[in-house]
Amino acid sequence: MTSGAGAAGHSLAFRVMRLCRPSCQVDHPLLVDPSDVCNGEDSVNFKELLPGLVNGNDPGFWKRFELQEPMDAMGLSGQLVLPQTFGSIYLGETFCSYISVGNHTNHDVRDVIIKAELQTERQRIILSDNSKSPIESIRATGRFDFIIEHDIKELGGHTLVCMAVYTDPDGDRKYLPQYFKFTTSNPVSVRTKVRTVKDTTFLEACIENQTKSHLFMDQVRFEPAPPWSVTTLENEEEASESDGPISGYIKSLKLINGNGGARHYLFQLKRPPLESSDVKLEGANALGKLEILWRTTLGETGRLQTQQINGSPTPKKPLDVKMTNLPQRILIERPFLVRMEVTNRSEQFTGPLRVVMSETDDNGTPRTVLMNGLLSLVSSRIHEDLTGTLSQNLVAVAAGVQRIAGICLVDARDGRQVEFVPPTEVNFEALLFVANRSR
């Protein structure tokens, strides 16, 4: 890496080399026939030198186009090549560098303090600092080496500042700063679409590879925000019997090709019905964050987390209904009283409201908890930001844990459904009869 400032007039100088995994050396050999190399084109005039050419059977011709070994098509020479340039650094990767402080003079320097700092537009990160235990001396033509690592979390320009404070042979204290600049870019582009179908929200994420190399997706996970729950919808490809072990393994890889390759992911989001204490969550539209983990072709890892993904704002419920004052002990076939608190959260009055209860569920099964007495109870108007109370007698026809469900508030004027009362599970006890036997 080149330095933004020289070390002229100083005994020490910094050298920085980026540490990354080597790449495979690829050679594309030029396949020619040995006779062409030895004899040349002039040998065509001397056909007696090439009897195969006269007979129309030139083995050198087909050997140029047919591979003797399948691996020759890849051009891999079996050698690894170290990076010759600094290369590209992407967001989410680990920046690792080998820093060498060399003494290029013929005399020793003493009490050397070395500090490495990474500066961005937002912050400064100290990567190495030995000010508490300085190096006693660096001899002539000697050097001191160390390695630094940092996870790249910001885009844009970065400056690696290497500083050294030392004492020269004349006893003077000198300060040497050197600056090494590089720029980080985004490895992937994430585009999202949010669609809502009834009570279910679907999030589609498209991840596009903006690097030149392939990326292998280790994990693409969506971290939902409370109170959302997530299910990843994947289309799993089953390996056929004709696929070998290598072909089946290749199909299982979640690969995104370089230079614009893309892959799509689908997530299903749901959240439970809002309770009265969750009023603040009604208008919230934060869904969560997307976490992406990948590997390059040689196994180098990367990790990114998107910003908060927002969905469509949840419409505020005009009414908030909850059951209160349920009896602690309820017997079957004995009426019991429940109270319902109705809070008007709209900007205008509502009502009059009528309480109705269905006798069967959505599947047509009779309910085990029914209304007792009047099947319809009408309330008065409820003004904005006020709470009204409704009472209703119910009766259970089955013992055990049963659900009180199917209670709905409708507008008494036009019969429009306004709000459903959230279901509640209650334990109902059976009646016990003890017979007295006379002796």
Please report the pLDDT score of residue 363 as a whole number: 81
Cβ(371)–Cβ(393) below 8 Å: yes
Please report the pLDDT score of residue 30 as a whole number: 61
Structure token digits, residue 425: 């599970």
Pick out the chain residues at pLDDT < 70.
Answer: 1-8, 28-76, 236-244, 273-284, 313-316, 347, 374-380, 383-386, 431-439
Please report the pLDDT score of residue 434 as a whole number: 44
Superfamily of domain 319-429: Immunoglobulins (2.60.40.10)
Kind of pairing, strands 387-396 and 229-233? unpaired
Instruction: Say how many CA atoms lie within 13 Å of 243 toward its Cβ.
Output: 12
Greatest extent of the chain over all pairs of C-alpha atoms, in Å: 137
Domain boundaries, given as residue ranges, for the chain: 12-21+84-185, 24-81, 188-310, 319-429
Kind of pairing, strands 424-429 and 400-404? antiparallel
Please report the pLDDT score of residue 352 as a whole number: 78
Burial class of residue 306 (count of CB atoms within 10 Å of its CB; 0-12, 13-18, 19+): middle
Kind of pairing, strands 369-371 and 200-209? unpaired
Please report the pLDDT score of residue 93 as a whole number: 92
Given this chain, do its domains 188-310 and 319-429 carry the same CATH topology?
Answer: yes
Please report the pLDDT score of residue 198 as a whole number: 74
Please report the pLDDT score of residue 379 as a whole number: 67
Cβ(321)–Cβ(373) below 8 Å: no
CATH 3.40.50.80 assigned to 12-21+84-185: no
What pTM was estimated for this model as a whole?
0.60
Cβ(20)–Cβ(297) below 8 Å: no
Instruction: For domain 188-310, give its CATH number from 1.25.40.10, 3.90.1720.10, 2.60.40.1230, 2.30.110.10.
Output: 2.60.40.1230
DSSP of 232-268:
EE--PPPPPTTS-HHHHHHHH--EE-TTT-EEEEEEE
Please report the pLDDT score of residue 274 as a whole number: 54
Please report the pLDDT score of residue 251 as a whole number: 73
Please report the pLDDT score of residue 439 as a whole number: 44
Cα 388 to Cα 286: distance, rounded to the nearest angstrom: 32
Please report the pLDDT score of residue 35 as a whole number: 54
Burial class of residue 69 (count of CB atoms within 10 Å of its CB; 0-12, 13-18, 19+): exposed
